[in-house]
Structure 1
């Protein structure tokens, strides 16, 4: 009996629901109406929320009126909203189904925040899970896409997931429940409906225990995925080294010690949005400076390492003007402090002393560019910055983080690295300017 099995399922897997503030996403269809009935019978308090996507004219409005009457009958709080789904889909270049999904989940999260709901319950069941599996399988997916719909995903809970549509329908008929039929569900132009009406029935015909066996397979896949995630967590601890600049270093030599570098890189990097796995495999043997990009990150080859970093924002390449009267200015790498002093004291990479009378104001802080050169302090002659960086063995990421302090077109200081010989202190210096990066 569904009610008893559902009660045991809640007690065993979701004991925290009792006493929590719950919201049920209710379309008015069979599945959500059964979920409402089950929770009401178990005397678990909840509210209901209904989205009118304005896609089926009077039928959509009829669904809304049906839910309003149901909420009034059960004396439960009711939330509703109308969406211009077609407009949203067009503006965001989404399918109607994806637009409706985004709209409703965003609204559910907003309701949870505004009204303090602990969890939002949806009525997904075993047949929905099978359809999602087949959709992901047809599109090509990793193991995560084959583990089905999660029972718990942040604040969203699917307590009907172990139960079939057949069991849910029988419960509804046995309890003489009314529900709304969505006419669009009969159309096979949508992939999910096509699978529901054309593919899944044939699978069940071939093997009457197909859905039950599928549920067992899903559990095996989940266990396998948990094992893989444990291995990947271990690999990250062994291979990911976070630099003081915020990027991640991966030793290529150490990566090779674990075998299957392509597979390991896939699992290590997939959460960063990478998709060009052929390019990533090749980067291991590529020359230094080779890069592979995702929408949010990039992977850079630097000698014996792969460097994983965010894609730098364009704003980091702006210039900063420093008037003579300025004593401190903020730049992305810290704060530059300017102070006239009577002598030289502490010296380190964060501090330089220059002859103030040689400076042309306003000073400029900017990024380096190809063709830049300077006269390294303590050396004769000039040197291109590209050659200096190579000699210092700076990675591509390190070079991108370099800022220059300039007087006109001349470099005063490669900040945090080397000062320019032209602005050094001499016996003729009358004003010493101390510049510190803090």
Structure 2
């Protein structure tokens, strides 16, 4: 196995040979074999160990055992003690999820502090099979059925081609010591149920099942690559960048077949994984929306609008004192006093300075807002103006208003000025206000 491992590294992970690496080692048989193989392959490695303090004395004995083993291997040993029970209670998550968060957060911290380039874990072929079966029961799509990736960012899993039986045999042949985690035998965890009850039965029925499964994974990876390419082509065609959102044609989506599969793959990266909800959005009224952990998807007439969630600035107010000539945030406005009437465009407005009350105010829309459209008599609700101009929800949310010191709207920036502040024959001081990013 050592020869195969060394060849595997040289062929598939040559970047590990001269790089400082760390190994995530629990003290169990899999990670102890990984440590032995890496040391005998002359890789520049150190060991990271997490003590989750979940098994009392056993956890501390694992830590002491591993410290002694690292001294024997002459590799650096780094460890941390977590108050896991308190963490999961506060976060209201499962013990397994909490331990995972603690573990990988610490790994990232150690990467910065120790300066290693890659972290190696001891996931192997049987772990891949367990993950496949778990994801199969979760309806996770093809991506979830392609197994554990050999490389994910800075994490590398060089034991994936090797089975649990090969690892056990190598440990026995090399007289490698390890610690047995008693929690691995508890079938209350779904992974352990597959490991101890279901997979042994499958292997009993078909002894070469793991080999066949490994080949099937290769085919799934290849099929997934083809699907990713097709989805990427459709995304490039249908997802059109707009000012504040990505616009997607509903008719274009409905023309895709099979529609449910395309919807799942197209919107999965943005956190939308329910084909039923996505299908309903295609046939609903404008204004309906879906919210994921990271994005929002809104139906807007004949399109869907996709935006990233961000901290709302709807309640923020920015002031412009009387003698300030420009403002750069949240938008770029330039203010100048001019002597004679000058041409204006959509992005500029002329106002009578004597009608202004400083400081001027920059803000977003509020319920009940109204203004007097330039060139018209009477006033109009801002909401009605937005509707008439066919503003999308996102455009409404991103529209800035320039207001007088008493909060009356002077200018819907880049759109329409208010008639009350226009210059007349009696105007003695003219201000020209220009939006440089409208």
Output the CA distance in 2 between the equivalents of 1:214 and 1:146: 11
SS in 1 for 2:313: helix
Output the CA distance in 1 between the equivalents of 2:51 and 2:260: 46
Instruction: State yes or no: 1:180 paired with 2:184.
Output: no
1:43 Cα deviation after fit: 2.1
Output the CA distance in 1 between the equivalents of 2:403 and 2:11: 68
What's the RMSD between the two structures over aligned residues?
A: 1.7
Instruction: State yes or no: 1:255 paired with 2:242.
Output: no
For residues 101-120 of structure 1, the aligned pairs below 5 Å read 101-120=100-119
Output the CA distance in 2 between the equivalents of 1:277 and 1:230: 20
1:276 Cα deviation after fit: 4.2
Query: What corresponds to 2:69 in structure 1?
Result: 70
Calculate the TM-score normalised by the size of structure 2: 0.94
Query: What corresponds to 1:36 in structure 2?
Result: 35
Query: What corresponds to 1:306 in structure 2?
Result: 304
Change (3 A) 1:166 1:312: closer
Query: What corresponds to 2:224 in structure 1?
Result: 225
SS in 1 for 2:137: helix
Extract unaligned runs of 5+ from structure 1: none
Instruction: State yes or no: 1:92 paired with 2:53.
Output: no
1:417 Cα deviation after fit: 0.4
Query: What corresponds to 2:314 in structure 1?
Result: 316
Q: Which among 366, 379, 382 is matched to residue 379 of structure 2?
A: 382
For residues 15-414 of structure 1, the aligned pairs below 5 Å read 15-243=14-242, 245-332=243-330, 334-407=331-404, 408-414=406-412
Contact 2:314 2:397 (C-alpha < 8 Å) held by counterparts: no
Q: Deviations over 1:154-212 (max 9, x none)?
A: 11111111111111111111111111111111221222112211111111111111111
Query: What corresponds to 1:431 in structure 2?
Result: 429
Extract unaligned runs of 5+ from structure 2: none
Output the CA distance in 1 between the equivalents of 2:127 and 2:178: 18
Contact 2:267 2:273 (C-alpha < 8 Å) held by counterparts: no
Q: Deviations over 1:366-420 (max 9, x none)?
A: 2223432222112233222223223322222112111222222422111110101
SS in 2 for 1:47: strand
Q: Deviations over 1:212-248 (max 9, x none)?
A: 11111211211121111111111111111111x2310
1:318 Cα deviation after fit: 1.7
Output the CA distance in 2 between the equivalents of 1:262 and 1:201: 35
SS in 1 for 2:293: coil
1:258 Cα deviation after fit: 3.3
Output the CA distance in 2 between the equivalents of 1:327 and 1:426: 23
Change (3 A) 1:312 1:158: closer
Query: What corresponds to 1:419 in structure 2?
Result: 417
Output the CA distance in 1 between the equivalents of 2:355 and 2:312: 32
Output the CA distance in 2 between the equivalents of 1:261 and 1:435: 49
Contact 2:244 2:395 (C-alpha < 8 Å) held by counterparts: no
Output the CA distance in 1 between the equivalents of 2:434 and 2:337: 12
1:9 Cα deviation after fit: 1.7
